[in-house]
Amino acid sequence: MEDVFAGYRRRHDYLICMDSDGCAMNTMEIKHRKSLAPCMVYEWDLGEYRDAIMRRWREISLYSMDRGINRFEALAKILVDVNENYKRVEDLDSLLNWVKTSKELSTDSLRREVERTGSPALKKALEWSELVNGSLKMISEKNKKPFEGVREALEAAEQFADIVIVTAASRTEIVEEWGYYDLLKHVGLVLTQETGSKEYCIGKLLEYGYQKDHAMMVGDSPIDQRAAKAEEVFFYPIMVWKEKESWEEFRNHALDKFREGTFAGEYQAEVEKEFVQNLTR
Ligand SMILES: [Mg+2]
């Protein structure tokens, strides 16, 4: 595979890793509502429970501590729910087992597993995932906008920090979405699901000589937070329903604190507390 890090240079002492879906770009709601959830209803023929399932999907994938989980993990959780409450799901254990044990939860690795096992549930999950990929392409870039204040935040941040996109979305999605709004020029590198986990990406970037207390992950999900903790860099949360305010705070206060060395301790704890409260209320 092509080495995405080839040619990358550290330009500043500070590093800001930035998630995309639900953080910089207002894409989560529409992707789940128009693609992931309805494709599941279609694939498992759940039309008569459509409303309840759509609601459950949104709760899990958007408005809980599971926000931002991998699509196959979300699928497994909801199919367990369906199996218990609505309709028997054939061969469910095969899917649960794959989700629990596979090192890579992607469409490609699922395809290999289907070829190896021929499991009906895995086959359906694969069809669903391909349907999702196809239908995501049909959502116009016009409906996948950056949140208000993101452009200004990027402009302020790039004055003293290198900005790198660190996301679990696919490279194609990111390049199209950020390219459409002419935001790629603020970014030194695009690291996606094809590069590896967020933790891995942050770790690789630190090898370029950024000190840990000069590095930060900006994200909207507990997964971003965990990746930041694992690599011992700061975490700045973009809060669901309060994205505009989060970006304002980032530009007006968080960036200065980061630069001046006062982000650690009280401020870090405060924004994290608010973040968790916002997702669990
Ligand atoms: Mg996100």
Question: Is residue 53 located within the same domain as residue 100?
Answer: yes
Distance (angstroms) between ligand 1 centre and the Cα of 193 equals 12
Query: What are 14's strand-pairing partners?
Result: 161
pLDDT of residue 141: 87
Question: Is residue 20 located within the same domain as residue 38?
Answer: no
Of 119, 136, 153, the residue that ends a domain is 136
**281 pLDDT above the threshold of 80:** no
Distance (angstroms) between ligand 1 centre and the Cα of 281 equals 19
Distance (angstroms) between ligand 1 centre and the Cα of 20 equals 6
Question: Is residue 32 located within the same domain as residue 22?
Answer: no
**1 pLDDT above the threshold of 90:** no
**170 pLDDT above the threshold of 90:** no
Is 8 a domain residue?
Answer: no
Distance (angstroms) between ligand 1 centre and the Cα of 205 equals 19
Which DSSP helix (H) or strand (E) runs through 17?
Answer: strand 14-18
Mean predicted confidence (pLDDT) in 25-38: 94
Is 89 a domain residue?
Answer: yes
* C-beta separation of 278 from 241 below 8 A: yes
In the predicted model, what is the mean pLDDT of the chain? 95
Mean predicted confidence (pLDDT) in 183-189: 97
Taken in order 258, 263, 269, 274, the sign of the CA dihedral is: negative
Please state, in angstroms and rounded to a whole number, the distance separating the CA atoms of residues 81 and 83.
5
The residue whose two tokens read 């986990």 is 197
* C-beta separation of 232 from 222 below 8 A: no
Question: Is residue 115 located within the same domain as residue 159?
Answer: no
pLDDT of residue 221: 95
pLDDT of residue 103: 81
Distance (angstroms) between ligand 1 centre and the Cα of 221 equals 6
- What is the band of 173 on the pLDDT scale with cuts at 50, 70, 90? confident
- Range of 78-82, 104-108, 165-169 with top mean pLDDT: 78-82
Distance (angstroms) between ligand 1 centre and the Cα of 117 equals 32
Mean predicted confidence (pLDDT) in 182-199: 92
Is 5 a domain residue?
Answer: no
Distance (angstroms) between ligand 1 centre and the Cα of 159 equals 24
Of 136, 164, 189, the residue that ends a domain is 136
Distance (angstroms) between ligand 1 centre and the Cα of 174 equals 12
* CATH code: domain of residue 240: 3.40.50.1000
* C-beta separation of 54 from 41 below 8 A: yes
Mean predicted confidence (pLDDT) in 131-141: 91
Model pLDDT for residues 36-90, shown as the tens digit of each residue = 999 999 999 999 999 999 999 999 999 999 998 889 999 999 999 999 999 999 9
Is 52 a domain residue?
Answer: yes
| pTM higher than 0.85 | yes
**C-alpha distances in Å from residue 231, one per residue of 146, 199, 228, 251, 274:** 27, 7, 5, 24, 22
How many domains does one find in the chain?
2
Is 3 a domain residue?
Answer: no
**7 pLDDT above the threshold of 70:** yes
Task: Quote the percentage of the chain above a pLDDT of 70.
Answer: 99
- What is the band of 168 on the pLDDT scale with cuts at 50, 70, 90? confident
Range of the domain at 105: 28-136
